[in-house]
Amino acid sequence: MADRYLSFTGTTPGRLLSRRLGLPQPAPLKRWSAARPGLDGGLLHLTAGKSGLDLAPVLARAGLSTGGPGGADDAGRPASVVLDATGVRDVADLAEVHAALHPVVRSVAASGRVVLLGSPIDAADHHQAAAQQALEGFTRSLGKEIGRGRTVNLVRLADADAAESTLRFLLSPKSAYVSGQVIEVGAGATTGTGPAGASAADPWDLPLAGRTALVTGGARGIGEAVAETLARDGAEVVVLDVPRAGADARRVAERIGGLALPLDITAADAGARIAEALPGGLDVLVHNAGITRDRRLANMPAERWAPVLEVNLASVLRTTDALFAAGTLKRGGRIVATASIAGIAGNAGQTNYGAAKAGVIGLVRSLAPRAAAEHGVTVNAVAPGFIETRMTAAIPLVIREAGRRMNSLAQGGLPVDVAETTAWLAHPASGAVNGQVVRVCGQSLLGA
């Protein structure tokens, strides 16, 4: 369903009226397209504290130009700002963060990006820990005030090369609905060839070429967008959905040149049947299938509780275990599970859904280090907020509008926003990103 408020505030009368009434003024987001794959304008690279990070080679490889006066476009507006704050170690150094960004933050172009780089927190140095933790509060606060479709994120890293895929994502239109997030990048990739585990053939234009991806719940909505995006990146995609959605699954698979697999993911033998259908193995597993059965706990019978936990959590655990046991998940593989902001902040009427999605987060945090060490597989999650789908279109108007506006970007996201985040986590060069839960919520004002 179209966001008519967003369209209205884009008109002159709409801007004047919303400003006078103090209402949100969302800016149309610039998303990735083949015609416009990058941000419009240059990059401004700043430093706070005494940094030993050599970021220049990564930025050069990524084609992130620092051309123009101070990295600005022809109008003097940088499209993105990277502040290297890895050397911030005490309160005095935090003054340099203010000094670096205060003069430029207003000039960042609409739909621009601000990315802070921080260091892993040193548990043995409470001054460094305090200063680096302060960067999180700074990032989230700036994200809530910067406006005009601009985003602010913090990346904690120890190795610039290992962070290349993350920087490319966050400094591109693909991250349009990701803001206020803190992403930790390890010191190196789990596996792969080339820089940070990237494919030697063509690591950025078709990163998933020659790889097989499985998307559960892939026949419609977010799952369909994920399947399309992974196929765009070169993967052969298997679209799994329940048999009654078989026609839709086949339609999606035919459009993207993939395969349809009609299967109830809650079946006891679902994992074995997936393994049988993929004798060549699996590189990317996207756990996207999910259902809702909303009702307040006092009015929720067991028959509404159980299916949500079964589809959204138990099947994820069971299938993952089965595919590891069968050896179907290849070394260098990626698991991306779909959590939800409801699993982080909770939501009235969704005790079942919130419990299941919080369980997915628990799975990711527990399994990620072991899967990387034992199998060379990363495990991460995306946590969508209010995403414009057929399901959210059926929500009553007042609740729907509240969901759209209660984030820093003051609008709902699109399925492609979740898909682009999933594709970044599935990238062969993202092997140093592990155990992360990335909220695709426009920086929800609740729980984020």
Asked whether 151 and 5 are in contact (CB, 8 A), the reply is no
How would you label 263-274 residue by residue, b for 16+ Cβ within 10 Å and e otherwise? bbbeeeebbbbb
Parallel/antiparallel/unpaired status of strands 113-118 and 151-157? parallel
Angle at 340 between CA 335 and CA 341, to 5 degrees: 140
Which structure tokens are listed for 4?
Answer: 């008519």
DSSP state of 419: H
- The candidate with the shortest Cα–Cα distance to 427, out of 154, 159, 165, 188, is 165
346: left (phi over 0), alpha (psi -120 to 50) or beta: left
177 counts as catalytic: no
Parallel/antiparallel/unpaired status of strands 378-384 and 329-338? parallel
In sequence order, the β-bridge partners of residue 260 are 239
SS3 of 14-69: the string is: HHHHHHHHCCCCCCCCCCCCCCCCCCCCCEEEEEEECCCCCCHHHHHHCCCCCCCH
How would you label 326-357 residue by residue, b for 16+ Cβ within 10 Å and e otherwise? bebbbebbbbbbbbbbbbbbbbebbbbbbbbb
Which structure tokens are listed for 401?
Answer: 């509008």
- The candidate with the shortest Cα–Cα distance to 172, out of 68, 56, 335, 41, is 41
Burial of 191 (0-12, 13-18, 19+ CB in 10 A): middle
Q: Of 353, 356, 372, 400, which is the active-site residue?
A: 353
In sequence order, the β-bridge partners of residue 259 are 238
Which residues are within 8 A (CB) of 354 and not within 5 positions of it... i.e. 6 or more apart? 340, 342, 343, 346, 347
Q: Which residues are catalytic?
A: 353
